[in-house]
Amino acid sequence: MEELRFDGQVALITGVSTFGLGLAYATQLAERGCAIAVNDLGRDWAGGTSEPGTAEAVRTITDGGGTAVGVSGDVVSDADDIVHRTLDSFGRLDIVINNAGAGGDFDTLVDVHLRGAHRITEAAWPHLAETGAGRILNISSNGSFGAPAMPGYAAAKGGILSLTRTQAILGRRDGIRSNAILPAAWTRSTAGIDNTEFAEFMRTHFPARAVAAFAAYLLHTETVVSGESFTVGGGLVSRVVQAETQGALSGDHNPEAWSTLIDDVMADSSMTVSTSMWSQLDAFVGRMGENVRADWETARIQPDTDAKVAS
């Protein structure tokens, strides 16, 4: 099998410190010829601040024979500057990995994980479009399934999944593809969990490089997958979807009617997977009565895939 190379390309990766997935993504791509701009602000998972790890990350990459620069800054307030400095260094931008993360209160978590991913991508968008084959990788988490005691983290990581699908739709015209991963790996965040057995389990079975390998696959120009999300860890990859059951239809618009229908609503033997709000509505109406479906064919709004990324 021919090696997947990234020669001549440039990647901007946020949240790259001295240990963890950000550095794994960076070294994986650098080993395959990609020039790397690494970003870090120095926020830790306890909500505090520390010295940005960009300088050491750059040393690690260059010592391995790669090309890298550091572009420290806040992914929300400094997004334009981070992208501009990347362009000043390398003259182009092909890949964005939105990996930045931090602990803190609800607002901080949503800012760093979700708003940061949007702001960096928004600033990078015209340059990704210019290449005709821009690639975006957003980092979500299994916390999106529900994270006890961390509602801000769960909300932000859940939002990443919807953001990714929307970016993929908006990117079709310009050849931009966007995907998300929910990684399981030995990182700064998992290392901070106070449980020796769990730490050893993660260290043994979930190396960061296993996640980085699939990330690199998604980011390659020959990969056509877009708008998808995947759980990734230890060599296992699974597709993550938002799905609907077949549901139940009632002509009795009173609360009492649903007492006898709720089991049909909950039955998961048949699922519909939609890729946008319009495909969801189309499938939903398709499960209603013939008269409703006929009217829908007349009233249907065609999605505008040429829309720009909105703030």
- pLDDT for position 106: 95
- pLDDT for position 190: 63
Compute the distance between CA of residue 138 and CA of residue 185 in angstroms, rounded to an integer. 16
- pLDDT for position 175: 98
User: Which residues are marked as active site?
Assistant: 153
In 3D space, the residue among 57, 122, 128 whose CA is nearest the CA of residue 87 turns out to be 128
- pLDDT for position 196: 78
pLDDT band at residue 16 under the 50/70/90 scheme:
very high
- pLDDT for position 151: 95
pLDDT band at residue 61 under the 50/70/90 scheme:
very high
Residue count (the chain)? 311
Tell me which amino acid residue 5 is: R
Residue 309 scores a pLDDT above 50:
no
pLDDT band at residue 148 under the 50/70/90 scheme:
confident
Which CA distances in Å does 25 have to 11, 20, 184? 10, 9, 14
Please give the residue that has the higher pLDDT: either 119 or 270: 119
- pLDDT for position 198: 77
- pLDDT for position 307: 36
In terms of average pLDDT, the best of 146-160, 175-189, 274-288 is 146-160
Per-residue pLDDT tens over the stretch 116-138: 999 999 999 999 999 999 999 99
Mean pLDDT, residues 205-226 taken together: 96
How would DSSP label each residue in 43-93?
B-TTS-B---SHHHHHHHHHHTT--EEE--S-TTTTHHHHHHHHHHHHS--
- pLDDT for position 228: 98
- pLDDT for position 119: 98
Compute the distance between CA of residue 19 and CA of residue 25 in angstroms, rounded to an integer. 11
- pLDDT for position 303: 57
* Percent of the chain at pLDDT exceeding 70: 91
Compute the distance between CA of residue 246 and CA of residue 272 in angstroms, rounded to an integer. 7
Compute the distance between CA of residue 124 and CA of residue 87 in angstroms, rounded to an integer. 10
In 3D space, the residue among 77, 80, 70 whose CA is nearest the CA of residue 15 turns out to be 70
Mean pLDDT, residues 244-266 taken together: 96
Mean pLDDT, residues 148-173 taken together: 96
Residue 300 scores a pLDDT above 50:
yes
pTM of the entire structure?
0.91
- pLDDT for position 155: 97
pLDDT band at residue 297 under the 50/70/90 scheme:
confident
- pLDDT for position 110: 96
Mean pLDDT, residues 203-222 taken together: 94
Compute the distance between CA of residue 303 and CA of residue 262 in angstroms, rounded to an integer. 32
- pLDDT for position 188: 63
Per-residue pLDDT tens over the stretch 17-55: 887 899 999 999 999 999 999 999 866 655 555 667 889
Structure tokens at 55: 């300088």
CA 13 to the chain's CA centroid = 12
Compute the mean pLDDT over every residue in the chain, rounded to the nearest whole number: 91
